[in-house]
């Protein structure tokens, strides 16, 4: 809802005479909280019902966290704008510990992401890593009841909800590579709505768009989903696009990674090249093991 209101305010500023209405939906991904996303259909559960509202004419656009948008959109849909990225990092939330390094062996750490889980297992094999689902308030309540010693969450979500004071430590991309699109918002609409695509164009952030397109292209080339522990993070450095990525076995027993540079104008080609490099280094074997 914060995301929808943020975009509504931006549109109202751009087009003062345009009436903007929020059509709220509680998606299946929000309702099913006792099973990991990878077992019930993946992140598309946060998107499908919003796409249905667009297809049926009940809504014109949908606002998503870019990391929740499936890499392959249904026919007739497009991402019309990717907004300027917020904080892309993961963060530690704990009532007792100031850093991951301060957590003792056997500490129970909650996360909803296979990507975060495999990176934690690689660095801290002694942790007990457990799934935690629900909205941010639900997850924090579980932490406060003592069900977990710490949580690993996306920093952007906490900051947007004005819960930044719950962050005990930000985890660098070097230690926890973000998910494709993490920290950015994406606006989806139908491809035949040229009027909307034109209206949304001023909200697009060119640098963020290039980075997220590269990340998504890599994930798409590897059939990225919740079942694939994959991190991909692009940045602009000295006019070049740098893309770092990894693919891991779910138990963190095997990991392949890449770090390449390319032209920001060819972001999707860079993502595809990074995927080829990962495959050349053994990603196919990791993918095959996932079944």
Task: Give 163-221 pLDDT, tens digit per residue.
Answer: 999 999 999 999 999 999 999 999 999 999 999 999 999 999 999 999 999 999 999 99
Beta strand 240-248 with 230-237 is: antiparallel
- Are the beta carbons of 116 and 100 closer than 8 angstroms? no
- Are the beta carbons of 218 and 275 closer than 8 angstroms? yes
Confidence of residue 37 (pLDDT cuts 50, 70, 90): very low
The alpha carbon of 122 is separated from its chain's Cα centroid by a whole number of angstroms, namely 20
Confidence of residue 40 (pLDDT cuts 50, 70, 90): very low
Residues of each domain in the chain carrying CATH 3.30.160.40: 206-291
Residues of each domain in the chain carrying CATH 3.40.190.10: 1-85+184-204, 90-171
Which residues carry out catalysis? 68
pLDDT at 203: 98
Position with higher pLDDT, 183 vs 225: 183
The CATH number for 1-85+184-204, chosen from 3.40.190.10, 3.40.50.11890, 3.40.50.880, 3.40.1170.60, is 3.40.190.10
Distance CA 37, CA 137 (A): 18
This prediction has a pTM of: 0.90
Length of the chain: 291
The highest-confidence range among 31-40, 46-55, 244-253, by mean pLDDT, is 244-253
List CB contacts of 23: < 8 A, sequence separation 6 or more. Answer: 53, 58, 59
- Are the beta carbons of 8 and 22 closer than 8 angstroms? yes
Distance CA 33, CA 25 (A): 16
**CATH fold for the domain made of 206-291:** Double Stranded RNA Binding Domain (3.30.160)
> Which superfamily is assigned to 90-171 in CATH?
Periplasmic binding protein-like II (3.40.190.10)
Residues 120-169: tens digit of each pLDDT: 999 999 999 999 988 899 999 999 999 999 999 999 999 999 999 999 99
Say whether 154 sits in a helix, a strand or coil. strand
């Amino acid at each position: 809802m914060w995301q929808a209101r943020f975009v509504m305010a931006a549109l109202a500023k751009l087009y003062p005479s345009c009436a903007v209405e929020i059509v709220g939906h509680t998606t299946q991904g929000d309702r099913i909280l006792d099973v990991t996303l990878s077992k019930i259909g993946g992140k598309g559960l946060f998107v499908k019902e919003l796409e249905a509202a667009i297809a049926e004419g009940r809504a014109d656009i949908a606002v998503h966290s870019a990391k929740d948008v499936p890499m392959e959109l249904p026919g007739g849909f497009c991402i019309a704008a990717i907004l300027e990225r917020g904080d892309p990092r993961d963060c530690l939330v704990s009532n007792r510990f100031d850093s991951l390094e301060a957590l003792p062996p056997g500490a129970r750490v909650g996360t909803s992401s296979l990507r975060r889980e495999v990176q934690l297992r690689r660095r801290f094999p002694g942790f007990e890593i457990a799934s935690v689902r629900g909205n941010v308030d639900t997850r924090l309540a579980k932490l406060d009841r003592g069900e977990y010693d710490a949580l690993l969450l996306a920093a952007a979500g906490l900051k947007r909800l004005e819960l930044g004071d719950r962050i005990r430590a930000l985890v660098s991309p070097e230690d926890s590579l973000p998910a494709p699109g993490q920290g950015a918002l994406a606006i989806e609409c139908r491809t035949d709505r040229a009027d909307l695509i034109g209206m949304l164009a001023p909200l697009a952030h060119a640098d963020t768009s290039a980075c997220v397109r590269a990340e998504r292209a890599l994930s798409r080339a590897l059939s990225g989903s919740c079942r694939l522990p994959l991190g991909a993070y692009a940045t602009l450095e000295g006019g070049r696009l740098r893309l770092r990525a990894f693919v891991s076995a779910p138990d963190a027993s095997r990991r392949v990674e890449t770090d390449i540079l390319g032209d920001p104008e060819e972001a999707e080609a860079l993502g595809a090249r990074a995927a080829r490099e990962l495959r050349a280094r053994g990603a196919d074997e990791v993918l095959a093991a996932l079944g």
